[in-house]
Amino acid sequence: MKKFVNDPQQFVPEMLHGIALANPDTLRYVPEYNLIHRVDAPNDDKVTIIQGSGSGHEPAHVMTVGKGMLDGACPGDVFAAPPMDYVYETTKLLASKKGVLLLVNNYTGDRMAFDMAQEMSEADGVKVRTLFIDDDVSVKDSTYTVGRRGVAGNFFVMKAVGAAAEDGADLDELIRIGEKVNSVTRTMGIALTACTPPSKGSPLFELGDDEIEIGVGIHGEPGRRRGKMAPANELVDEMLDAIVPDLPFESGDRVALMVNGLGGTPISELYILFGIAADRLGAKGITIGRSYVGEYCTSLDMAGASITLVKLDDEIERLLEAPAEVAVRIF
Amino acid sequence: MKKFVNDPQQFVPEMLHGIALANPDTLRYVPEYNLIHRVDAPNDDKVTIIQGSGSGHEPAHVMTVGKGMLDGACPGDVFAAPPMDYVYETTKLLASKKGVLLLVNNYTGDRMAFDMAQEMSEADGVKVRTLFIDDDVSVKDSTYTVGRRGVAGNFFVMKAVGAAAEDGADLDELIRIGEKVNSVTRTMGIALTACTPPSKGSPLFELGDDEIEIGVGIHGEPGRRRGKMAPANELVDEMLDAIVPDLPFESGDRVALMVNGLGGTPISELYILFGIAADRLGAKGITIGRSYVGEYCTSLDMAGASITLVKLDDEIERLLEAPAEVAVRIF
């Protein structure tokens, strides 16, 4: 394994320490709960929004804390759900008078931790609701999941509820918006290589020199099929052929198109995929209203990419357009 | 080779097509010259700023075209300087009445192309100046270079002259600012893996399972030494031990600190490096005024990172803080 790491057991804390040092004016780090939170949270004028999930998916979610997005993120170790007490303590610490919204990608371990934390927080008198995200069309169940998985489309739910929360929306309204965005969001991904968790020190699964995993999960779990490497055009077609009929997305629709890198794929290749997908959607009469190319939800150093489509309406587009300020930036 | 690509010969055009489709309101693509330019260039109220260089370093430079940064970028093929006529035609097409500033990372091929293009444009009556960037402390000369190489620190020159140009600074003033920023910027990088150019289809050089290249160039050219993989702390120390004494950066200085990913390294690891570097600089009495963590200048899919320090003063900090709008974003 060649990674920039000291003790693999300290991979997550050292990363969080770096995030805090790079954003001293806006973010705080609470080591006890792997927590990164806004300096101005809790703010009683807005609902507090918290996401956990495992580490290894950065920028999700510790680098998407900030104005217009999350108030806090308390991840577990790499690819591990956060311990229940991280979520519980974070919820108590950041609770505002308007309440707390917990965002949870649909994985069994995450659901358990967040469900228990919600129950305990409610017993303490905190107003809490939970929203599950499950945008992955690849498989119904997986190693980590009952039901569909939550993957990169999670970004759009975070962005929409984050913007609405800044505008003062209450908890019921955020649940309505989040469920609506989740219901019109669909994703599918392809892995070109496996990823290497720092503590394991070797690839999480085996993939031959000319093999790819189609419909891969963000923890490297199997997808729809193991296939042969193919030209980018064919891979985009296979992803869109799974995504488009699922909602379905139809001629006349206006969409957000995201090409998300899984960690080891350079942005040049992501733009190649974006160009192909945009052309294909244009030929189907689908208009691209908003474009997203980059890393949103990764799997450590996995080479690969996912495509997400979101069906836009005026409300969703306005929320996606709203300003946000988070750690992930080049300026 | 497993990459998202169709015909490797079309790697650059297909990427540029994707960039244009993702930014229809702000960017235009001119296929004849691999040119991405702002829709509003030329603008006679500002000096036009153009950069070329080879492809494979994205986001540099085709994804850093936009308000407050470049007016256009006309890259060559992967790791190849742009043909002279790309630079010449781009210069003529985008020339404003206030003139044209050509930014060139110091590589022999790039210098030749830009020097000739400047001469020919001047013969046509265009006011043109050229600024060379050479921030890499690793080696004096390299496979591609006489003198020091221009690497990720190039970003700070672009950002500073880009901001000043928006404010209406003339060509002489931009040269002064660009030379000043370049003179206080120092970079060094380490490769953990080689990169694979799409047309070659195999790694550009050999690096053993436990080997790293210290001081690597952004085209994979050799650095100071081939070493054994080591903990992140030691690698940061080796980079800072080369960078800090070079200017030198001293106790009491205020700096911008950039940790730049080389393409295949996840952002989690970049933040680990940032945290270590920030702690080390703090211990030396050096204050971090601005923080940059992400991909700025890459080498295709190479795993690795570079560290850049810029000595700040009020003028430079103001220019770095100024707003800019380019294609690279997650929002």
In the predicted model, what is the mean pLDDT of residues B111-125? 96
Which residues of chain B are within 8 Å of residue A13 when distances are taken between CB atoms? none
DSSP state letters, B54-73: -BSSTTTTTTSBEETSBSEE
In the predicted model, what is the mean pLDDT of residues B240-258? 98
B329 touches chain A (CB under 8 A): yes
For domain A185-312, give the CATH number: 3.30.1180.20
In the predicted model, what is the mean pLDDT of residues B35-53? 97
B8 touches chain A (CB under 8 A): no
Instruction: Compute the nearest-CA separation of B96 from chain A (Å).
Output: 26
A161 touches chain B (CB under 8 A): no
Question: Is B308 in contact with B135 (CB distance < 8 Å)?
Answer: yes
pLDDT score recorded for residue A247: 98
Q: Identify the band that residue B64 occupies on the pLDDT scale cut at 50, 70 and 90.
A: very high
pLDDT at B101 over 80: yes
Q: In sequence order, which residues have a C-beta less than 8 Å from that of residue A233 and are 6 or more positions away? A: A276, B6
**What are the sequence ranges of the domains in chain A?**
8-183, 185-312
Which residues of chain B are within 8 Å of residue A303 when distances are taken between CB atoms? 2, 264, 301
Among residues A17, A37, A57, A61, the one annotated as catalytic is A57
Q: Which residues of B191-223 are buried (b: 16+ CB within 10 A; e: fewer)?
A: bbbbbbbbeeeebbeebeeeebbbbbbbbbbbb
Selection from B118, B134, B129 nearest residue B170 by Cα: B129
* Interval B168-214: pLDDT, tens: 999 999 999 999 999 999 999 999 999 999 999 999 999 999 999 99
Q: Which range (A217-221, B253-257, B271-275) has the least confidence?
A: A217-221
Interface A–B counts its CB contacts (< 8 A) at 197
* Interval B288-302: pLDDT, tens: 999 999 999 999 999
For β-strands B66-67 and B48-51, DSSP reports them as unpaired
- For chain A, list residues with pLDDT below 50: none
The residues with which A101 forms a beta bridge, in sequence order, are: A49, A129
Best CATH choice for the domain A8-183 from the list 1.10.10.10, 3.40.50.10440, 1.10.8.640, 3.40.50.300: 3.40.50.10440
| Contact at CB, A268 and B294, closer than 8 angstroms | no
Q: Is B61 considered catalytic here?
A: no
Question: Is B240 in contact with B283 (CB distance < 8 Å)?
Answer: no
Asked if domains B8-183 and B185-312 share a fold, the reply is: no
**C-alpha torsion A19→A22→A26→A27, nearest 10:** 20
Per the prediction, chain B carries an average pLDDT of 96
* Calpha distance B12→B105 (Å, rounded): 19
Reported ipTM: the value is: 0.97
B192 touches chain A (CB under 8 A): yes
In the predicted model, what is the mean pLDDT of residues B76-97? 97
Q: Is B17 considered catalytic here?
A: no
| Contact at CB, B5 and A274, closer than 8 angstroms | no
* Calpha distance B271→B277 (Å, rounded): 10
In chain A, which among 233-272 make CB contacts under 8 A with chain B?
A: 233, 235, 263-272
Identity of the amino acid at A13: P
For CA atoms B66, B68, B71, B77, the dihedral sign is negative
**Cβ atoms within 10 A of the Cβ of A108, count?**
15
Q: What percent of chain B has pLDDT over 70?
A: 99
* Calpha distance B227→B167 (Å, rounded): 46
Of B272, B292, B298, the CB nearest to A18: B272
Which residues of chain B are within 8 Å of residue A294 when distances are taken between CB atoms? 328-330
Of B19, B155, B159, the CB nearest to A271: B19
pLDDT score recorded for residue A151: 96
What are the CA-CA distances from residue B283 to residues B95, B104, B189, B278 (Å)? 47, 35, 22, 9
* Interval B146-177: pLDDT, tens: 899 999 999 999 999 999 999 999 999 999 99
* Calpha distance B321→B331 (Å, rounded): 19
pLDDT score recorded for residue A146: 86
CA geometry: angle B187, A262, B326, nearest 5 deg: 55
Selection from A290, A287, A291 nearest residue A251 by Cα: A287
Question: Is B134 in contact with B147 (CB distance < 8 Å)?
Answer: yes
pLDDT score recorded for residue A229: 97
Is the pTM higher than 0.80? yes
In chain A, which among 16-35 make CB contacts under 8 A with chain B?
A: 16-19, 21-23
In chain B, which among 280-299 make CB contacts under 8 A with chain A?
A: 288, 291-296, 298
pLDDT score recorded for residue B143: 81
With residue B294 as reference, give the H or E element that holds it: strand B287-294
Coil vs helix vs strand at A163? helix
